[in-house]
Structures are given as structure tokens and as C-alpha cells.
Amino acid sequence: MRRKIFCIVAFISFGFAVGCGSGTPAANDAPTNATLKEPATGSADNSKGKGKFTEVKLSHPLDQKMIADGKPVFDTKCAACHKLTDEKLVGPGWKGVTDRRTPEWIMNFVTNTDEMIDKDPTAQALLDKCMVRMPNQHLSDVDARNVFEFMRNNDGKN
């Protein structure tokens, strides 16, 4: 029994170690298809979350290069806790996330995880539901935007 518990703990620890990456931001931190502005203080609009993304311009049709660049980021930093279906793993499944959340909220959550969990009511509700605090993956703005395009593709957007 002890061995089984040890194996489970080791597997979870390995998943977090792999998912957390090196913690070193990418050299190219320039945003892609996003307008960065300082968030308005005291804003009653919680749909955008807390962070620097106040407007994310979506590409139509989907940007295939961004999708291709987002997949390895998902595989390395996200897949240990999230499924591409609506099934919860450690964190919620990603299916339909781009319908439930605004692009700005998603971008702010993946790039400003700690502040979002501490201050955003929607992120706090997710923490209550999942009971595991999402670790800060230290995604660059470019990686975050690529992952968001990968999410849109997963949701069947065009």
C-alpha cells in the first residue's frame, strides 16, 4: 500500500515538474495579435480578468502557424493537468473554454496566474471547484497567444 501511495505521489510530482518548465521566459516576449494596455483601475468588468491584456485581436481564419506553435506548449506545460475534452483531469477540460471565457481573460489567466487566482472571482471559483491551484507556467505572451489559438482550434473555431 505504501508503495502504491509513493508511486502516485511521485507521478504527480513528475507531472508538475514537467509542466512547470524551466521558469525562464522566452527571449521573444513580444505579443502577437494582442493590444497591451494598462488595465483600468476599479473596472467593474471582470470578464477580462486581471492583467495587461485588455484587447486580443482574433485571426479569421485561424492562424495555422500559431496553432502548430501552441501544440508543443500545451503538450509540455498544460497536458499534465488538462484534457482537450470537457473532462476534468487535475484542472478543467479545455473543450468549450473559448466559449465560456473571453480571449482577454484566458490570456491574463495563463500569463498572470497568481494575481488572477488571488483577485479574480471567476479564477477563485475555479480554484474552489478544482481544489488545486494552477502553477504559474511562466508563459511568454507569444506562447500564451499560440496556446490560445490552439484552444480555439480545439473548440472548432474557424
Phi then psi for residue 16, to 5 deg, are -70, -40
Question: Is the pLDDT confidence value at 40 over 50?
Answer: no
CATH 3.30.2310.20 corresponds to the domain 2-154: no
- pLDDT given for residue 2 in this prediction: 55
Asked whether 48 and 54 are in contact (CB, 8 A), the reply is yes
C-alpha cell at 12: 504527480
Instruction: Flag whether pLDDT at 88 surpasses 70.
Output: yes
**Matching residue, cell 466559449:** 99
Q: Say if CB 91 and CB 130 are below 8 A apart.
A: yes
Residue 43 CA to residue 32 CA, distance in Å, equals 25
Over residues 94-117, the pLDDT tens digits come to 999 999 999 999 999 999 999 999
> pLDDT value at position 45?
60
pLDDT of residue 6: 42
Domain boundaries defined on the chain: 2-154
Mean pLDDT, range 2-18, rounded to an integer: 44
Query: At which residue does the C-alpha cell 481544489 appear?
Result: 131
Give me the pLDDT at residue 85, please: 97
Say which residues have a Cβ less than 8 Å from residue 62's Cβ, sequence separation at least 6.
149, 152, 153, 157, 158
Helix (H) and strand (E) counts in the chain: 7, 2
Amino acid letter, residue 28: N
pLDDT band of residue 1 (cuts 50, 70, 90) is low
Give me the residue label for grid cell 484566458: 106
- Rounded to the nearest 10 degrees, the angle between the axes of helix 141-154 and helix 64-73 is 100
